[in-house]
Amino acid sequence: MTIHKVQPKLIIHGGAGSSLKGKGGADAVRKSLYKVVEDVYGLLVAGASAKDAVIRGCHLLEDDPRFNAGTGSVLQSDGQIRMSASLMDGAAQRFSGVINVSRVQHPIELAEFLQGSADRVLSDFGAAELLRELQVPLYNPLTEIRLQEWMQERQENFVREAAGVVAENELVEDSNAGYGTIGVVALDSEGCLAAGTSTGGKGFERIGRVSDSAMPAGNYATAKAAISCTGIGEDIIDECLAPRIVVRVTDGLSLVEAFKRSFTEAGASKRDFGAIGLDANGAIGWGKTSEVLLAAYHTGNQMGDTLDLSDGIESGGL
C-alpha cells in the first residue's frame, strides 16, 4: 500500500489592529514572524505532526515580547496578567484550553497537556492547580513596556478599550495600535491539521474577562480546515468566526471563498478582527476587517505575509 505524502503548509499570526507605528514598524514584525515560520516549517518538513508544529510555533511567539501572549502579555485593569490559550487537533477534532492563567511562560503547554484529559478546558484556579501538579516552574511574563503602558493608562482612568499589540523597545505614541493574540495553523505531511491560539487579552479589561482564544469561536480545527482568530474577542465570539469558516469549507466552499463570505458579513456587522487558516488540500487563507493583520506563511516553496495589505475589509489566500 502506497502512502501519499502531502506538502506541509503553515500560517501564523501575531495579532491584528489599526497600526504598525512604532520603532521598527512592519520590517521588525516581519523579521519576527519569518523567524518563527522558518523554524516551524523546518519541523514540518522533517516529519513533525501538525499538532507538534503548532505547539512549537506558539512557544516561539509566546516568548517574543513583541506580541501579546506569554512574555509581553498586557495587564488587566487590576495590574495582573491573565493569559488564555487553546489547542485543537483537527485529526482527532479535540479542543483543549486554559482561561486566565497566570505565572506561566507557555500557556499553550497547559492546553497541550489537557488534550489527553477528561476535563479539557480549565479556568484560573484549575489551571493554577494543574501548574502545581505538573511542577511547571513559576514565571513572570511582565515586561517593562507593558508595566509602563498600564501605569500610563491608570493615570488616565483606563479610557482605552484595549492595550497596544506590538511591543516595541519604547512606548509608542499610538500604543492602542491593535489587539493581541498569537496563532499558528499547520498542515503536516500526513494531511492532518491543527490550530493553536494564545493571548494576554485586551488589556485594561474587567477582572475575569474571558478571551475568545480559549473558545472554539476563536480557534477551531477539523479534518477539513483549521482556523485561528485575532482581534476583538467579543466580536469573534458574536460571529463564532472560526467554526463558521470551517463549516463553510465542510459544506463545499473553497477556503478562500469561505473567508470572503465570512468577512463580508463581518464587515457589514462592523466587526473588528482577523483570521488565518488552512484546509486539507493545502489552501492558505486569511481575512481582516481591521486595518492590519500581522500574519506570515510558508507555501512549501516560499514565505510571504499580509503586512502590506490595504486598509479595510479584505480576504485572500493561495
Rounded CA gap, 100 and 207, in Å?
9
- For the cut 60, the answer to whether the pLDDT of residue 142 exceeds it is yes
**Within-domain flag for 4:** no
Identity at 195, one-letter amino acid code: A
The pLDDT tens digits for 45-92 are 999 999 999 999 999 999 999 999 999 999 999 999 999 999 999 999
Work out the average pLDDT over 219-241: 97
Task: Give the CA distances from residue 54 to residues 58, 112, 146, 197, 219, in Å, rounded to whole numbers and listed in that order.
Answer: 6, 10, 26, 9, 12
Smallest Cα–Cα separation from 16: which of 289, 310, 242?
289
Smallest Cα–Cα separation from 53: which of 66, 42, 40?
40
- Residue 143, burial from CB neighbour count under 10 angstroms (0-12, 13-18, 19+): middle
Strand pairing of 182-187 and 193-199?
Answer: antiparallel
**Within-domain flag for 224:** yes
**Within-domain flag for 303:** yes
**Within-domain flag for 272:** yes
Q: Tell me which residue range forms the domain holding 161.
A: 9-317
The pLDDT tens digits for 263-315 are 999 999 999 999 999 999 999 999 999 999 999 999 999 999 999 887 778 88
CATH number at 62 reads 3.60.20.30
**Count of domains forming the chain:** 1
**Within-domain flag for 241:** yes
Residue corresponding to grid cell 479539557? 120
Task: Give the CA distances from residue 270 to residues 200, 289, 290, in Å, rounded to whole numbers and listed in that order.
Answer: 24, 8, 10
| Residues involved in catalysis | 181
Rounded CA gap, 186 and 45, in Å?
11
